[in-house]
Amino acid sequence: MKKKTALVTGASSGIGAVFARELAQEGYVVTCVARSQDKLEGLVKELGSGHRMLVADLADHGQLQRVEADVESMGYSLLVNNAGYGIYGRFEEIPLDQQEHLMTVNMNALIRLSHAFLKKADSGDGLINVSSALSLLTYPGGAVYAATKAFVTNFTESLWYENKDRGVYVMALLPGLTDTNFNAVATAGRTVPAETMRSYPPEVVVKKALAALKARKAPSVISGPLYRFLTFLSTRLMSRKTMVTIMGKGSPVLRK
């Protein structure tokens, strides 16, 4: 029987750190990937002996290639592509190099690591790509971020179909607002204020993902009943124009 091994990107905090902890508790040997060596050292020490870390900035091509090589050589039974971030503000006010950096981390790194994993994947293995509930909507004030997540969901659902007959389960995880430091971002001179909509602890999000991983059915999973209802309401019962208008009026960085 194949040893349970997992690689988690963006593992230094938030959803990624919770994935690492939960997977270790379930008997996986976990490789944690992130930029912060100090945070990774603390996490791996917490997880216990046998677990490992890779310090890498996935926006750097050379460092990304090093992680790709590790994925190919180790033959992990699970890959969690969690690394990603958002920047907010009016599109034309955010420097283009910042937006290109965002696209590199949120899309290019995810594509390359997914490719490295699926080339070596065996029946029973799994791939989780962390997207966002916003991927089914739109987000004025975070246009490029929402577009990258729409890409991740579409890309991952296609991979679900391509790989299901060979027994490799691929899923997109679509969290809504989660209790992490994700929204503590300032761009274009604007700080994103705390949202008033209900948020969920990252532990709830990860447990939902791991339950879906065990069930091996859905190509995508939205965490939290509130966000499942809101995405149903906005994608099935509203016109596209109405949905975009509501999201725009509610965007904290566009409020005057």
Residues 158-172 pLDDT 10s: 999 999 999 999 999
Where along the chain do its domains lie? Answer: 5-254
Beta strands in the chain (DSSP E): 5-9, 29-34, 52-55, 78-81, 126-130, 169-175, 186-187, 190-191, 220-223
The answer, yes or no, to whether residue 229 has pLDDT greater than 70, is no
CA 165/CA 96 separation, integer angstroms? 41
Q: How many residues are recorded in the chain?
A: 256
pLDDT at 198: 53
pLDDT at 244: 75
Instruction: Name residue 129's beta-bridge partners.
Output: 81, 172
CA 172 to chain centre: 8
Beta strands in 115-218 (DSSP E): 126-130, 169-175, 186-187, 190-191
CA 147/CA 135 separation, integer angstroms? 7
pLDDT at 194: 41
Which whole number is the average pLDDT over 52-71? 98
CA 107/CA 102 separation, integer angstroms? 8
Residues 6+ apart with CB under 8 A from 85: 102, 105, 106, 145, 182, 185
The answer, yes or no, to whether residue 193 has pLDDT greater than 70, is no
Tell me the CATH architecture of domain 5-254: 3-Layer(aba) Sandwich (3.40)
What is the CB neighbour count within 10 angstroms for residue 235?
12
Contact 114, 152 (CB under 8 A): no
Tell me the pLDDT tens digit for each residue of 77-124: 999 999 999 999 999 999 999 999 999 999 999 999 999 999 999 999
Task: Report the percentage of the chain scoring pLDDT > 90.
Answer: 73
Kindly report the pTM of this predicted structure. 0.89
% helix, strand, coil for the chain, step of 5: 50, 15, 35
Higher pLDDT, 229 or 92: 92
Residue with tokens 């209790």, as numbered in its chain:
179
Average pLDDT, the chain: 89
234 band by pLDDT with thresholds 50, 70 and 90: low
The answer, yes or no, to whether residue 17 has pLDDT greater than 70, is yes
Determine whether 196 is exposed, middle or buried from the number of CB atoms within 10 Å of its CB (0-12, 13-18, 19+).
Answer: exposed
Residue with tokens 């996935």, as numbered in its chain:
58
190 band by pLDDT with thresholds 50, 70 and 90: very low
